[in-house]
Structure 1
């Protein structure tokens, strides 16, 4: 499993591409995105997303709050199924910050759950 910005070109090595943003990335046409599925339900809630606003000072709290949301997410089973069904999965996100975004938190969360299963 890997993560990749929506603005980077699709590569064959991406495998199955899952958009994990609640909002469609700005400036990209749907036909140009090349995602296999858009799981907006797995993204942070609108309230949490707006509160975080990509402020690195809020990163630790954001991570804790988003992990709590993921534990109660109905979409988590779907994304786990997809990661087990497909040999290679890439989580696609739109944020500029490659180290402080929901895809980073989601990838860690999924890796912990999948290693337990």
Structure 2
């Protein structure tokens, strides 16, 4: 099983393994040819309603996490490509939020790690 890391789509940090964009919208100002992606998993992004409600406000993050996890649990097929890739090797989840601690990729990474530890193949 591989590690799961997260990285901002705007950061020039090297990525490891399979690389997936996990936002519902393409990062502003980034050309498609500038990102080496194995997939753009739009279906794992928070719903537009949840994203708008959260508004990247740290004080709403705990509630955002709970609501987003419910969305992910209701849509296991969306998570499957990421889970399958993580079972084969390292995975990097790319996101575009400025806040590196309060964003959907943090929640998704933790959710995937939990699934890898508890759900058999």
* Same fold per superposition (TM over 0.5): yes
1:77 and 1:34 mapped to 2: Cα distance? Answer: 20
Partner of 1:62: 64
| Residue 78 of structure 2 is aligned to residue 75 of structure 1 | yes
Q: CA RMSD in A?
A: 1.1
With structure 1 as the length reference, what TM-score do the two structures score?
0.93
The separation in 1 between residues aligned to 2:80 and 2:8, in whole angstroms, is 23
Question: Which of 79, 91, 101 does residue 99 from structure 1 map onto?
Answer: 101
Moved over 3 A (4+): none
Unaligned runs of 5+ in 2: none
Give the Cα–Cα distance (whole angstroms) in 2 for the partners of residues 88 and 21 of structure 1: 19
Structure 1 residues not aligned, in runs of 5+: none
How many aligned residue pairs are there?
115
Counterpart of 2:9 in structure 1 is 6
